[in-house]
Amino acid sequence: MLKSDLRKIYKQKRNDLTFEEIKCLQENIYAQVYDLDISEIQTVHLFLTLVKFKEIDTNPIINYFRSQNKKIVVSKSDFKNSSLTHFYLEKDTEIELNKYGIPEPVNAVQVSESNIDLIFVPLLISDERYYRVGYGKGFYDRFLANCREDCKKIGLNFFKPIFKISDVNEFDIALDEVIYPKL
């Protein structure tokens, strides 16, 4: 199926989830995250939850990685060129919503992509080859292209991957793994 159709379908499917359903799906995802082998990981990048699109609440994941003494990195989005810049998220880092409703750090220390060992990637839907469809601006395609070859990329989603995204292009970078609710 085409990215543009998948984007519409999975935006709607996510929007249709009730908060009770989301709570249950999240718990399943968190349990799988807490089961990952993170012994080689020092620095982990997470997205901060975009509430208007009913994204997974990443706060419990952030708290978990903090409790494991890992450094947390979050981004600021530049919609003019679809680029992200990255910053350490400390316990006292101030967070503000940008005009799209994305939480972003204020006055934090910038981090280069080369310091990131693990990235949790937001997505609407992925396929069995670990390609993904996001909101369609290419922020993550650009970001992942700048990361280390050995940086681990794990997608998080409420829905099971489909067989195949048919219009994957030269910029699309496959993830290493996608975590979605399993029985």
Ligand X SMILES: Nc1ncnc2c1ncn2[C@@H]1O[C@H](COP(=O)(O)OP(=O)(O)OP(=O)(O)O)[C@@H](O)[C@H]1O
Tokens of 140: 């993550």
Question: Binding to ligand FFO (CB under 6 A): which residues in 138-157?
Answer: 139-140
Nearer to ligand FFO, 28 or 49 (CB): 49
Could you say which of 8, 137, 148, 160 contacts ligand FFO (CB under 6 A)? Answer: 137
Compute the residue count for the chain.
183
> Which listed range, 84-92, 95-103, 132-140, 150-158, lies at the site for ligand X (CB under 6 A)?
132-140
Does position 79 interact with ligand X (CB under 6 A)? The reply is: no
Residue 78 · residue 112 · CB < 8 Å: no
Does position 161 interact with ligand X (CB under 6 A)? The reply is: no
What's the CA gap between 174 and 134, in Å, rounded? 13
Does position 139 interact with ligand X (CB under 6 A)? The reply is: yes
Per-residue x/- marks for ligand FFO, 74-103, CB under 6 A?
---x------x---------------x-x-
Residue 141 · residue 152 · CB < 8 Å: no
Nearer to ligand X, 60 or 138 (CB): 138
Nearer to ligand X, 32 or 82 (CB): 82
What's the CA gap between 114 and 43, in Å, rounded? 10
- Catalogue the E-assigned strands of the chain: 43-45, 71-78, 83-88, 94-97, 103-106, 110-111, 118-122, 125-126, 132-133, 152-156, 177-179
Q: How far is the CB of 33 from ligand X (least distance, A)?
A: 20
- Three-class secondary structure of residue 159 per DSSP: coil
Pick from 84, 182, 178: nearest CA to 131: 178
| Chain contacts with ligand FFO (rule: CB under 6 A) | 47-50, 55, 77, 84, 100, 102, 122, 134-135, 137, 139-140
Binding residues: 3-7, 48, 55, 132-140
| Chain contacts with ligand X (rule: CB under 6 A) | 3, 133-142, 145, 169, 171-172
